[in-house]
Structure 1
Amino acid sequence: MEFGDYLERTRQQATALRAAAVAAGPEAEVPTCPGWTVHRLVRHIARVQAQVVLALDADAAGEAPRTERPPEDWDELLAFWDGQVDTMLTELARRGSGAPAWAFAGFSGTAFWARRQAHETAIHRLDAEHAAHGDDVPHLVFDSEFAADGADEVLTIMVARFPAQVTGTVLVHAADAGRAWLVTLTTGAPPVVGKATDIDTDASLVGTADAVYRALWKRPSTALVNGDPALVAALRTP
């Protein structure tokens, strides 16, 4: 996906997240994030995107920028978040894909943040949808290109950050996108993620790109798990 596509997707997902959050109400529980209310969900995404705004001017090799606490009042919180989304997307568009910026996990730059925020916003949009509609959330919310890109991001950036606690191999296959990944887990070492060249693995996660994307983020999904489910569960995310 191109840089501009990520910015457009972030705007679309933020709009959908906001609508679902308002429909659910601030006190509604978020079943996909146990212990969270919609108010906490919106404060989380607002604070994350406020940090991204600061990260764009922070030393790429320095410490994480510290953000102010978003407002507690619901209406003020929504207005604060609206402002952060607008500023973040405006600044990313102005700077373009090759500008420096602080980021976590050994990455940096505006291109990283454009992709990361498209998927951060999309997954939390799902959380807001589940808060508003329970289990009655469509199985195909995300198109195959975007969802497959999200699966790639979570595997190659998020999952790869955490040392594995088990040993084995997992095939991840987003069938409708024609994308597949082989994840090799070795206890105590970061997972190794590459192209799938062998389907003879200890476990597999298979479905539409949308379903695989949700399953990797531990959200309700129709993806199928075969083989050892503990290996699929071991694909850790923040």
Structure 2
Amino acid sequence: MTLLLPYDRYCDEILAQTDELRAVLKDADLTAVVPTCPDWNLRELAVHVGGAHRWVGEIVSTRATGDIPEERVPGIAGPESEEPGALDAWLAEGADGVVAALREAGPDARVWSWGTEQRPAFWARRMAHETAVHRADAALAARAGYEVAPELAADTIEEWLEIVSAAQRDGDPEAVELCGGGRSLHLHATDVPGAEWLIEFGEDAFGWRHAHEKATVALRGTLTDLMLVFHRRLDPGSTRVEVLGDAELLDFWLERASFG
């Protein structure tokens, strides 16, 4: 895992992204279905985010050496009251708690994670992006605007590539199909100079690098929109992005890229 942003920045982003999520939820219909997570309504999405914060906070604060079952995490099920104000306060409390635990531990303490990195640095990055991407889900459901800072959007793409690569190494049945020599996918941000990725399909695995080169298929758009497509929050057929070349290869990637 390579951290593109400072540890403290990830902690700051957990708080900032949670605040922006809370702002989206403030005047929204919490029973509205989330189109990008159709099994959830907005309230359930918020409980998922706040629950993840509490789960990670418990892992980091206790220096857990293994997974902690959800039933052992205080308050993970959400606020007792159905009132929107209670949900708002509960979200803020969860974000404050996980960030306090992360800051107290520092980036290099030994803690369990489901990733290859067994330290709080993994969790700070993961929770920053978990919150930012689910804020996009909430914004789509509430028909609100959405944008993230360029460096954060770029890092969500980098982290996602690392996660999918790890899933491929671990034998995830969908991720292992992301291979086959001679094919490539180019991501090109139109609003941030140098924000480009070339994903190359090798015979047994894929790799990536920063490059401006011709590829089998290219996805062009703002960095925020590239991030949203890459996380399957924006359809690649949207007029907000441009697909050049073999669109089926992009679909092939999006269908198989996963956590494992």
Please name the residue that 1:66 is paired with. Answer: 69
Q: Does 1:231 align with 2:245?
A: no
Please name the residue that 2:100 is paired with. Answer: 90
Please name the residue that 1:208 is paired with. Answer: 222
Q: 2:114 aligns with which of 104, 112, 123?
A: 104
Displacement of 1:164: 3.8
Displacement of 1:78: 4.1
User: Given the superposition, is the C-alpha separation of residues 160 and 228 from structure 1 closer, same or farther in structure 2, using an over 3 Å criterion?
Assistant: farther
Please name the residue that 2:185 is paired with. Answer: 170
The one-letter code of the counterpart of 2:136 is L
CA RMSD of aligned residues (A): 2.4
Displacement of 1:37: 0.5
Give matches, 1:1-238, under 5 Å.
1-56=5-60, 57-60=62-65, 62=66, 64-68=67-71, 69-71=76-78, 73-75=81-83, 76-133=86-143, 137-138=145-146, 141-158=147-164, 160-162=166-168, 163-165=175-177, 167=180, 168-175=183-190, 176-185=192-201, 191-197=205-211, 199-220=213-234, 222-233=240-251, 234-235=253-254, 236-238=257-259
Structure 2 unmatched ranges of 5 or more: 169-174
Displacement of 1:195: 1.0
Displacement of 1:199: 1.9
Could you tell me how far apart the structure 2 residues matched to 1:157 and 1:110 are?
Answer: 16
Deviation readout 1:166-225 (Å, 9 max, x if unpaired): 5432122234141322223368x5x52321456232222222221111111111262322
Aligned length: 230
The one-letter code of the counterpart of 2:242 is L
Structure 1 unmatched ranges of 5 or more: none
User: Given the superposition, is the C-alpha separation of residues 143 and 201 from structure 1 closer, same or farther in structure 2, using an over 3 Å criterion?
Assistant: same
The one-letter code of the counterpart of 1:74 is E
